[in-house]
Amino acid sequence: MLMNRSIQTILLRRGPCRSHLRFNSTKKNNTEQENNGDNDKSVSKRDDDTHIQQFKIKQTTSKSAPAPMGSNGVEQLLRKNNKPYIPKFKHQRVTFEYPELPNEDQYNNLSNKPKRISRWTRYIPKILTVVGVAWAAYTIKVWYWDDPEEGQDSNELLDPNEFHKFIVTHKEQIDDDHYMIELKSKYDRWEYSFATNPDKKCLWDGDRIWSVEVKQPDINVVRSYTPLPMYYMKSEYTRSGEKKPLLRILNPEADDLDKNGTMCLYVKRYKQGEVSRYITDREIGDELELRGPTIEYKFPYHPLKKIHQRPIFKDLPSKVEPDNLIESIKRDSDLPAVDNLDFFAAGTGIAPILQVLFSKNPYLGHVTIHYSAQKPGEIGILSRFLLFLNKLDRVSIHYHYDSDPSTMLTSKEIQPPSKPNYYSPKKLDEATANLSPQEALNVRMQVMQQNEASMKSEKVKKLVQSSSERGERYETALEQAIATASRPKTPAALAIVCGPDGYVEHVSGAKDLVHKAQGPVTGLLGEKKWDNSNVYKL
Ligand SMILES: Cc1cc2nc3c(=O)[nH]c(=O)nc-3n(C[C@H](O)[C@H](O)[C@H](O)COP(=O)(O)OP(=O)(O)OC[C@H]3O[C@@H](n4cnc5c(N)ncnc54)[C@H](O)[C@@H]3O)c2cc1C
């Protein structure tokens, strides 16, 4: 019974069928159904007919009888809808859109979290880019570019602690064993600091003797050599019309940056010599590594040097300026002359005194050079410059050749030392060490008077302005030399010896190589009463 009721309810809910499901339906009902049918126009007529045809309800005997349970009713309802598909007009179509994905899931909760952007966040990509570019540049530099060479970034032309590269720019073979090698600095960074203070940075100062160490890189051995302030003028025509490079003296006052760090080495090639063979085997364009400068000797202090410098030596004596001030300064300031010097050289040992005489601020005293060599011609063109120095009355030169025994150096040609004209405090201590107290006092009194005189240097500056006080004036250095050459020279108070060990031993006694000391003065100089206070062995 219950089941029947529910079926009735279902059937009744289907609007258009309502009348058909009523059992014992009346005409009135039929009229209602018609009216309802008119209202429900959405159902097709055919549909109605089908339903009507299908619902063949058996007439019951009683209106209150239950609905028959045959297969016509429920089964019919449950059967598949066979309603044919009738496309509707477009405007009648119902469209559906997929709903958006729920954004409240775990992932979206995480990813859609509002980001906190700090002030710096926006710069991070830029910073990372800059770091990346810098790193890439550094990598390229390290892997693809060579490391800077030793000395490449140096502010000095030469450094005593590291080797700097130089290029061989000219090589002249003087004879079988002797060469002039012109070198030029490979790098130029040093030039910037040099240009700011050329006077201080200039290496060429005649107040000292200095050397450089040249490296033989294959066996890592170094030897000392004495650079000369000289260069080769490459495009000069000689008198005979040949285009032959000419050796010239560097002029630090006129040549920019000392000709870009140019210097010459005068080298003797020894057959078994490791470094001399290496140097003389270099060709133009090859490199040499130099370390220095090493000060080998500094001339004793003299107050005159503070207020006066001798004009620089040039290629030709006619180009050299006269030294008109020297005599008036000495006279007016009561300053003694700078001591004269005896220089004993053998072979390439001549290089140190040439360095001093060709540099600016050349030695102020007169220099007597005793040059010993195996045969004439070993110094090549350098002998011409020695001749010019002689013409300027700056040097006297004596040649001694092994090939001509009559010229051999003997003690006869050596004069005993004279007393120094001026005692520096150090020299004074040395000089008075072996004197009696009275003699030492006399020497000290004499020195005090000299020092007082040197204090007048301010007065000197005033006096030299006055033409009447200046004394004799010369137009050229040659003219001055002619006048002074005839005056006798005071014997030297200082002697320097430079050459092979055997030569040094012969002239002044051997150096104490074990203790790296001078050793006692014996030999030719010892015979003439020279001693350690006035002899220096290079
Ligand atoms: C301060 C200083 C400045 C110098 N300046 C110069 C310079 O301007 N020009 C220059 O050419 N040299 C100069 N020398 C000498 C130079 O340093 C070397 O000693 C020389 O070039 C030989 O070196 P090497 O390596 O070729 O010979 P090494 O390999 O040292 O010696 C090889 C052979 O040569 C012989 N030998 C080496 N040196 C001499 C020598 N001086 N005399 C005789 N036999 C020798 C040795 O007996 C040895 O058998 C200077 C030395 C000093 C200390």
Asked if residues 398 and 371 have their Cβ atoms less than 8 Å apart, the reply is yes
Which residue's CA is the closest to the ligand 1 atom numbered 9?
267
Closest C-alpha to ligand 1, atom 10: 267
Are the C-beta atoms of residues 235 and 260 closer than 8 Å to each other? no
Report the separation in Å between the CA atom of 348 and the middle of ligand 1, taken as the mean of its atom positions. 9
- Give the separation between CA 521 and CA 534, rounded to whole angstroms: 10
What topology is assigned to 156-298 in CATH? Elongation Factor Tu (Ef-tu); domain 3 (2.40.30)
Per-residue pLDDT 10s for the chain (538 aa) are 444 444 444 444 444 444 444 444 444 444 444 444 444 444 444 555 555 555 555 555 676 777 666 656 677 777 777 777 777 666 666 667 766 666 666 666 666 666 777 777 778 889 999 999 999 998 887 777 766 777 788 889 999 999 999 999 999 999 999 999 999 999 988 888 888 888 888 899 999 999 999 999 999 999 999 999 999 987 666 666 667 888 999 988 787 778 888 999 999 999 999 999 999 999 999 999 999 899 999 998 888 888 888 999 988 888 899 888 887 787 777 778 889 999 999 999 999 999 999 999 999 999 999 999 999 999 999 999 999 999 999 999 999 999 999 999 999 999 999 988 887 777 777 767 777 777 777 777 777 766 665 555 555 455 445 555 556 788 889 999 998 888 889 999 999 999 999 999 999 999 998 888 999 999 999 999 999 889 999 9
Ligand 1 midpoint to CA 13 (Å): 131
* SS3 state at 481: helix
Coil vs helix vs strand at 494: strand
Residue 476 CA to residue 317 CA, distance in Å, equals 9
**In this predicted structure, what is the pLDDT of residue 228?**
96
Instruction: Pick out the residues of the known binding site.
Output: 248, 268, 275-276
Instruction: List the residue whose alpha carbon is closest to atom 28 of ligand 1.
Output: 273
pLDDT of residue 55: 55
Ligand 1, residue 267: give the atom nearest the CA: 11
Residue nearest atom 39 of ligand 1, based on CA coordinates = 500
Q: Which atom of ligand 1 is nearest to the CA of 225?
A: 5
Distance of CA 420 to the CA centre of its chain: 46
**CA Rg, the chain, in Å?**
58
- For residue 538, how far is its CA from the centre of ligand 1 (angstroms)? 13
* Residue among 224, 263, 538 whose CB has most ligand 1 atoms within 8 A, to mutate: 224
Question: In terms of residues, how long is the chain?
Answer: 538
CA of 347 to the centre of ligand 1 (A): 10
Atom of ligand 1 nearest to the CA of 275: 25
Instruction: From the CA of 278, give the closest atom in ligand 1.
Output: 26
Binding site residue list for FAD: 248, 268, 275-276
Q: Measuring from atom 4 of ligand 1, which residue has the nearest CA?
A: 225
For ligand 1, atom 52: residue with the closest CA: 224
Question: Can you spell out the DSSP letters for 346-368?
Answer: EGGGGHHHHHHHHSBS--SS-EE
- Give the model's pLDDT for residue 516: 86
Per-residue pLDDT at 147:
67
Q: What is the CB-side half-sphere exposure of residue 384 using CA atoms within 13 A?
A: 10
Q: In angstroms, what is the span from residue 267 Cα to ligand 1's centroid? A: 9
Sequence-separated (6 or more) residues with CB below 8 Å from residue 448: none
CA-proximal residue: ligand 1, atom 11 (nearest): 267
Given this model, what pLDDT does residue 536 score?
A: 95
pLDDT at 144 (0 to 100): 72
Q: Which of 391, 330, 400, 389 is nearest to 363 (CA)?
A: 389
How many angstroms separate the alpha carbon of residue 287 from the centre of ligand 1?
20
In the reported structure, the alpha carbon of residue 408 is separated from the centroid of ligand 1 by a whole-number distance in angstroms of 22
Q: What pLDDT score does 349 carry?
A: 96
Pocket test for ligand 1, best of 171, 209, 222, 270 (most atoms within 8 A of CB): 270
- CA-nearest residue, atom 6 of ligand 1: 225
Domain boundaries in the chain?
A: 2-92, 156-298, 301-538
Ligand 1 proximal residues by C-beta, below 6 Å: 211, 223-226, 265-268, 270, 272-276, 296, 348, 351, 500, 538
Residue nearest to atom 42 of ligand 1 (CA): 500
Q: Among the atoms of ligand 1, which is closest to the Cα of residue 216?
A: 25
Tokens 């050397």 found at: 211
Ligand 1 centre distance from Cα of residue 209 (Å): 17
**Distance from residue 260's CA to the centre of ligand 1 (Å):** 28
Torsion angle in degrees (nearest 10) through CA of 225, 227, 228, 230:
130
Cis peptide bond upstream of 520, omega within 30: no
Q: Closest Cα to atom 27, ligand 1: which residue?
A: 273
Taking the centre of ligand 1 as the mean of its atom positions, its distance from the CA of residue 384, in whole angstroms, is 25
Rounded to the nearest whole angstrom, what is the distance from the C-alpha of residue 508 to the centroid of ligand 1? 19
pLDDT at 334: 75
Residue by residue, what is the 3-state secondary structure of 222-265?
EEEECEECEEEECCCECCCCCECCEEEECCCCCCCHHHHHEEEE
b (16+ CB within 10 A) / e for 331-367: ebbebbbbbbbbbbbbbbbbbbbbbbbbbbbbbbbbb
| 331 Cβ contact partners less than 8 Å away, ≥ 6 residues apart | 471
Nearest protein Cα to ligand 1, atom 32: 273
